[in-house]
Amino acid sequence: MGRFFTKTIASTLAILLAAYILRGIDVKDPLTALIVAVVLGLLNSFIKPVLILLTIPITIFTLGLFLFVINIIIVKWAATLVPGFTVDGWVSALFFSLLVSFVTSIIEAILGAGGQPQED
């Protein structure tokens, strides 16, 4: 359960940073960023695998580039679900997803919330 909280906090910090850096992304306050992190985590866990499975032919045809479109759809969907979180366009959503993913992985590496359980 500790890894879940660490990943959520890392994502929240990444979302706040991305909203600060990128134009077209607006996060009302840190609580909204926390809600966005939870919603994105749920969408990425449950909806994204279904979308990937349903779009395998087009993903293969585009040599994997269609996965960017799926990421954009997930971010835009989160923006419609969470009040106080707005994404102005597809390009903003793309850069948001890339930046959040990159920053989250760096924060998790620093905090030690990677995929391997830590030994005592």
Q: Report the length, in residues, of the chain.
A: 120
Q: What is the mean pLDDT of the chain?
A: 91
pLDDT digits (tens, 9 = 90+) for 24-62: 999 999 999 999 999 999 999 999 999 999 999 999 999
85 neighbors 32 (Cβ within 8 angstroms) = yes
Confidence class for position 115, pLDDT limits 50, 70, 90: low
Sign of CA dihedral 98, 107, 26, 37: positive
pLDDT digits (tens, 9 = 90+) for 91-110: 999 999 999 999 999 988 88
64 neighbors 38 (Cβ within 8 angstroms) = no
- 87 torsion bin: left (phi>0), alpha (psi -120 to 50), beta (else): beta
Residue given tokens 């990425």 in the structure block: 44
Structural tokens at position 3: 């890894």
Domain edges within the chain? 2-111
